[in-house]
Amino acid sequence: MLAFFLIIGLSFLMMAGTLMNMLGEYLFSQRIQSDRAGLEKWAVQAAGYLTFSDAAGLDDTVRRAGAELGGRVLLMDELGKVQADSFQTALGRRLDYPEVASILVSGETADYGVHSLETGEAAQGENMLRFAGEEEWVSYSTAGIVSSSHVIGVMMLVSSVRGLMQGLSTVQTQMTVLFVVVAVAAVASGMIFSGVLTRPIAEMTRVIRRMSKGDLGARVAEKGSGEIKQLAIAFNSMSEQLEALNQTRNQFVSNASHELKTPLATMKIMIESLIYQPDMDAELRTEFLGDVNAEINRLSSIVSDLLVLVKVDSRSSDLVKEKLSLAEVVKDAQHRLQPIMDHREQDIILKLQDSCDMLADKSMMQQIVYNLMENAAKYTPDKGKITVTLQRMGKDAVLTVADNGPGIPKESQPHIFERFYRVDKARGRESGGTGLGLSIVQQYVNLHDGRIRVQSDVGQGTTFIVELPLNKL
């Protein structure tokens, strides 16, 4: 703002200076012209009296000329001697002003000059302005008196330029006043204007400070126009995301704590029973210890699943890609799950149409396939049927895992990929699941630029469809 006012102020000063000079020059040239024209007229009249040395005529002429032109009029002969003076005081004296000499010596017809009465110095142009009002300044106007094309004398008008000088100095004062008024107004309006501009930014800074102190609900007002409003909108949308993220995180931590607490509480009860009932019979004791062991397994699988998710979240899980056949991965998972499915007399059908060779992280692929097939086996009742298909479709490998189990209600379907979400809380926990399996599957599929979705009808069964791009090979 300071730089701005400096530039404006300097240009105003330069402009004012130029304007004053122009005005001064114009007023002086006007004055010169009118003085000259008046004097030349009288010089013609005086020519006759001077030729015949008519002193009374000359005296009368200078008096009338002085009265009409508003100044002192002198008349000199060709030697520069004063022959007539409307003030009478210089009669008979020789005046060698340059304005007089220029006519008598170099034959000019007219001349002009400005002089100080006090110092007798001549001044030109700008100097005159500088001394305006401090001294009495007069102008000397001269015109040659010509008779039969000979200069026989000079007529001179001495008139005050005080009025002109005063006019100019008034204009100068007025300009100064105007400058001060305009400058004050400009500074004031500039401050108001810059205040209006910076206020939203200052408000945003306040809100950012509040947010960094933990108040994530703080928002800025989306008012104003243009860029500032866009900035406010973008800022608020960022804040909303931040708040949502924070909420998700809090939810996750509280869910995780709850999930870890349940097995701990169960274990505590069983271990206390073992401590306070030393005479418990051996069979029951073994059963309790077996239950404690199962809870420890649960805890450890929750913790390892959480570690997996934390790793994916922090993006520190680098994909170790290698060439693999997805069909082999499916066969492998089937092999591992066969004992459980045999035990439950479930039927498993594999329809592997293509080998689906691809570059992918093997352990992640194993997790994806195993978790989906394990869920199918786990949630499908005894004697159920599980069908796994694999085929190439365009640039994708398409894996489907279908069962004829209980199905997933429509309202639960959007949530099954959320962390710790289970359709039937109690049963899910009983069956040993952590509620994290599908979250991990979805994250791994995303890391491989794939897609996963579910189709399910209650009572009919569930089908998970996974599409993984093959083009990376």
Ligand X SMILES: Nc1ncnc2c1ncn2[C@@H]1O[C@H](COP(=O)(O)OP(=O)(O)O)[C@@H](O)[C@H]1O
Nearer Cβ to ligand X (146/423)? 423
Nearer Cβ to ligand X (326/408)? 408
User: How many angstroms from the chain centroid is the CA of residue 314?
Assistant: 31
Closest listed residue to residue 390, CA positions, set 356, 438, 348: 356
> Using CB under 5 A, which residues numbered 434 to 473 contact Mg ion?
437
Site string for ligand X, 397-426 (x = CB under 6 A): ------x-xx-x-------x----xxxx--
Task: Write the CB contacts of 156 (distance below 8 Å, at least 6 apart in sequence).
Answer: 39, 73, 74, 75, 76, 95, 97, 99, 100, 140, 141, 142, 143
Task: Write the CB contacts of 274 (distance below 8 Å, at least 6 apart in sequence).
Answer: 280, 285, 288, 289
Q: Which stretch binds ligand X (CB under 6 A): 28-36, 196-204, 317-325, 433-441?
A: 433-441
Residue 338 CB neighbour total at 10 angstroms: 13
Q: Identify whether the C-beta of residue 157 lies closer than 8 Å to the C-beta of residue 39.
A: yes
Shortest spacing between CB 265 and Mg ion, in angstroms: 23
Q: Identify whether the C-beta of residue 467 lies closer than 8 Å to the C-beta of residue 395.
A: no
What, of ligand X, Mg ion, none, does residue 434 touch, CB below 5 to 8 Å by kind? ligand X
Q: Which stretch binds Mg ion (CB under 5 A): 175-183, 246-254, 280-288, 368-376?
A: 368-376
Nearer Cβ to Mg ion (61/375)? 375
Task: Record the tokens describing residue 161, joined without a space.
Answer: 């330029």
Q: Is 346 in the site for ligand X (CB under 6 A)?
A: no
Shortest spacing between CB 427 and ligand X, in angstroms: 8
Q: Is 433 in the site for ligand X (CB under 6 A)?
A: yes
> Using CB under 6 A, which residues numbered 254 to 273 contact ligand X?
none
Q: Is 437 in the site for ligand X (CB under 6 A)?
A: yes
Nearer Cβ to Mg ion (200/461)? 461
- The correct pick among 71, 153, 384, 435 for binding ligand X (CB under 6 A) is 435
What, of ligand X, Mg ion, none, does residue 435 touch, CB below 5 to 8 Å by kind? ligand X
Closest listed residue to residue 267, CA positions, set 285, 306, 293: 293
Grouping H, G, I as helix, E, B as strand and the rest as coil, residue 410 is coil
CA 33/CA 443 separation, integer angstroms: 97
Q: Which residue is nearest to ligand X (CB)?
A: 433
- The correct pick among 102, 375, 380, 463 for binding Mg ion (CB under 5 A) is 375
Q: Is 433 in the site for Mg ion (CB under 5 A)?
A: yes
The sheet with strand 396-403 has its strands ordered as 347-352, 385-393, 396-403, 461-469, 451-457
Nearer Cβ to ligand X (200/406)? 406
Q: What are phi and psi of 282, to 5 degrees?
A: -55, -40
- The correct pick among 324, 462, 467, 468 for binding ligand X (CB under 6 A) is 462
CA 273/CA 271 separation, integer angstroms: 5
Number of residues that bind Mg ion (CB under 5 A): 3
Nearer Cβ to ligand X (179/421)? 421
Rg (CA), the chain: 55
Q: What is the DSSP string of 199-247?
A: HHHHHHHHHHHHHHTT-TT------SSHHHHHHHHHHHHHHHHHHHHHH
Place of tokens 């009002």: 133
What, of ligand X, Mg ion, none, does residue 208 touch, CB below 5 to 8 Å by kind? none
Shortest spacing between CB 297 and ligand X, in angstroms: 13
* Triad 387, 388, 392: Cα angle to 5°: 140
Nearer Cβ to ligand X (438/468)? 438
What, of Mg ion, ligand X, none, does residue 428 touch, CB below 5 to 8 Å by kind? ligand X
Nearer Cβ to ligand X (103/390)? 390
Task: Record the tokens describing residue 399, joined without a space.
Answer: 């894996």
What, of Mg ion, ligand X, none, does residue 239 touch, CB below 5 to 8 Å by kind? none
Shortest spacing between CB 305 and ligand X, in angstroms: 8
Q: Is 115 in the site for ligand X (CB under 6 A)?
A: no
Number of residues that bind ligand X (CB under 6 A): 21
Site string for ligand X, 366-385 (x = CB under 6 A): -----x---xx--x------
Shortest spacing between CB 374 and Mg ion, in angstroms: 6
Q: Is 434 in the site for ligand X (CB under 6 A)?
A: yes
Closest listed residue to residue 144, CA positions, set 105, 87, 86, 94: 105
Q: Is 66 in the site for Mg ion (CB under 5 A)?
A: no
H-run or E-run covering 116: strand 110-116
Helix 437-447 crosses helix 362-379 at what angle (to 10 degrees)? 150
Q: Catalog residues that contact ligand X under the rule CB under 6 A.
A: 371, 375-376, 379, 403, 405-406, 408, 416, 421-424, 428, 433-438, 462
Q: Catalog residues that contact Mg ion under the rule CB under 5 A.
A: 375, 433, 437
